Structure 1
């Protein structure tokens, strides 16, 4: 297996794992915010209810940005989109809305966990998106062989 093929296989598996994680988090957020989350929100004081609603929208926004980015990566992998098109600013990862730490600290635990989880997932995907702008390190055949031997022993 060539170095490029190994890297492509790793990238494909990483994108697939991120997709599963993002979709599971989106489904969990939808279930919570449409279910018990409504009851928990209604029990809060009026100002915190607004904060809760804002945070639920921020969670959804982050997750939709992540899923859109992942689908773009899959389109490139499938040959449906050129790499240069995927790097267009409109297809890049959307910015994460800022959350207020004081509001997050006052939210019901599940709501706060969803917010923190979506922030962390967005940060991980953002690092991947930024890494794509970095120049690729091209190894000579000797360097590639030395790297493989180093991993084997």
Structure 2
């Protein structure tokens, strides 16, 4: 298996542009869904509301993750802050019971957000695993203190 790609400013900027475009598509799709009619209109409206909330929240988390990385690359966040607060959380996929009640175009858009989020999650996990072998700042400090104590004696 190939080593995970490092996250760099060019990758983050490309993903950020993609996230903004996808977020705009999500907003437009859910804003213009129209009136739901039929005998199961209430169930379909609930399904649409639930999936709209889940999908927009998924994209907000993705954009926030990308903004944290942008802030890191321009020096507004330290690596410690990024590692501590910039983790991309697991986010549930669409509910199959709700999804069958939506139009195919809406299901495709929801699936696109799920795939985008999964790409970011793989990047985040790869970046965290790649650096996992490095000792923490506290471990390095303890090692330096121990070396200093040996020299002093």
- Which TM-score band (shorter chain)? 0.7 to 0.9
Out of 30, 37, 62, the residue aligned to residue 43 of structure 1 is 37
1:53-99 deviations in Å (ceiling 9; x for gaps): 100111100100000000000011001100111111x4311331332
Higher normalized contact order (CA 8 Å, seq sep 6+, divided by chain length): 2
TM-score by length of 1: 0.74
Distance in 2, matches of 1:34 and 1:135, equals: 41
**Unaligned runs of at least 5 residues, structure 2:** 132-153
Bigger radius of gyration, 1 or 2?
2
Aligned length: 126
**Unaligned runs of at least 5 residues, structure 1:** 1-6, 137-153
1:102 aligns with 2:80: no
Out of 13, 17, 21, the residue aligned to residue 14 of structure 2 is 17
Contact 2:23 2:59 in 1 (8 A): yes
Q: What RMSD, in angstroms, separates the aligned Cα atoms of the two structures?
A: 2.1
Greater fraction helix: 1
TM-score by length of 2: 0.74
